[in-house]
Chain A
Amino acid sequence: MAKRPFLIPGVDKRLLIKDSIKAMPDLTRRRFITGGASLGALTLLTGCDVVDGDTAEELLKKVSKFNDAVQSWMFNPDALAPTFPESAITKPFPFNAYYTLDEAPEIDAADWKLEVRGLVDNKKSWTLDELHALPQVKQITRHICVEGWSAIGSWTGTPLRDFLKLIGADTRAKYVWFNCADSQGYNSPLDMRTALHPQTQMTFKFADQILPRAYGYPMKIRVPTKLGFKNPKYVVAMEVTNDYKGGYWEDQGYNSFSGS
């Protein structure tokens, strides 16, 4: 996740997405216009009007969709992200979000439940104790941020594919869509093939300790085959769905697949 406060106050994002394709360009257009000054210089160099708004922007979005398809084609469900020894762990592991650590969700385990929705046989909600009782594995992998930096961390939890099996999820569905507890309602879709990747994990511990608030207490989804912003923290719900429901950063223009 990267630092960048966005979202217009008073605008309900879900309604916006429903109005969808028409409304979304407005969100991104602002960003392109702020780049107008430098684009002006480029226009002079190339002699073509690349700024002229919608055309360039629509084209870029189409290419990004095409890049989703290319990445999905490149994705090898058996290719494992490299793992590292304990000695390689980055200390301190960075905290990064669109809010400060003080503003990060403070969740009381007693009030928290993981809600399960969509194309699953068993829609029961899970308490933290119930989740902690599931078999866990530890993995030390490199977290790569969309900003470019990376850090090696140690994450322990239950492979998501085991949990999906446990709840009787329809694994032919296209996405698992995660919802988070932070104030702006962070969310992110994960394509099913990545959700079923052996290293994709419901994480409860960082460096052998209960996940601290900074890293997403009580649960984060660790996906070493995706950029950091596709690793949601403070997860409160997951929905198995065939619909593309968008995501906090995806809606603002980050490539949706963003596989690594």
Chain B
Amino acid sequence: MSSIAATETTIATPQTKVIQPAWVRVMHWINAVAMILMIMSGWQIYNASPLFDFRFDRSITLGGWLGGALLWHFAAMWLLMLNGLAYLVTGLATGRFRRKLLPVSPAAVIADVKAALTFKLSHGDLTVYNAVQKLLYLGIILVGIVVVLSGLSIWKPVQLHWLVMLFGDYPAARYVHFVCMALICAFLVIHILLALLVPKSLRAMIIGR
């Protein structure tokens, strides 16, 4: 009995178990680079005709001027879209999304938020996401889809007019695109902060274990 239990413990130890498979790690870091390129060049593009009463400081933008930023934005978009599409297809096909992100209930989210705020949320097993993680990861995938669709609408408002209609009209699609960017930035802040608070999660995203 005791020897069997010992074996099971060894198998379950994080050190020997792959937490993040290689395809997740590769796509995660490609997405990280693509997102940063898109956001920084997007800020420069925004500055050419701001939607709100502020501009992004030049030191945090990419491209130098509108033309340069557009070159970056419309190059990095391929990286973002193709990688994102591959991620969605693989995530659905392998059942990883269903396995890791579902089910998620409001009650579970509330309970886990409470636990997190009172520092009682466990990160013992990185292979299992808590309800807050599930919600955030599902949410950011959705935001990622909407940011691409609204971006395509702004890029091709005549050829993809049917897509623009989804957001109302061209100006509305610009606002949607901006709000998605803001949500991604907010996610990034939390995401990076938590990765730093639980360094083994960062290690898992690099070496898999």
A positions within 8 Å CB-CB of B: 2, 4, 28, 31-39, 41-42, 45-46, 59-61, 63-64, 67, 71, 74-76, 79-82, 142, 144-150, 224-225, 249, 252-255, 259-260
Is A150 a contact of B67 with CB atoms below 8 Å? no
Interfacial residues of chain B within 30-65, with CB under 8 A of chain A in the complex: 33, 36-37, 40, 44-46, 48-49, 58-65
Kindly state the separation between the CA atoms of A35 and B63 in the bound complex, as whole angstroms.
Answer: 5
Is B156 a contact of A260 with CB atoms below 8 Å? yes
The chain B residue sitting closest to A84, CB to CB, is B169
* Chain B residues within an 8 Å CB radius of A45: 36
Kindly state the separation between the CA atoms of A39 and B78 in the bound complex, as whole angstroms.
Answer: 20
Interface range, B side = 35 or more
Residue of B59, B69, B75 ringed by the most chain A CB atoms within 10 A: B75
Known: A45-B36, A79-B159. A142 touches B170 (CB 8 A): yes
Is A147 a contact of B33 with CB atoms below 8 Å? no
Is B71 a contact of A60 with CB atoms below 8 Å? yes
* Chain A residues within an 8 Å CB radius of B158: 79-82, 224-225, 259-260
* Chain A residues within an 8 Å CB radius of B33: 46
The reply on B144 being an interface residue by CB < 8 A is no
* Chain B residues within an 8 Å CB radius of A149: 49
Known: A142-B170, A148-B48, A254-B70. A38 touches B75 (CB 8 A): no
Is B62 a contact of A42 with CB atoms below 8 Å? yes
Is A79 a contact of B161 with CB atoms below 8 Å? yes
Show 8 residue pairs from A and B whose CB-CB distance is below 8 angstroms, ordered by the A residue. A35-B44, A37-B58, A39-B62, A41-B59, A42-B36, A60-B72, A253-B68, A253-B71
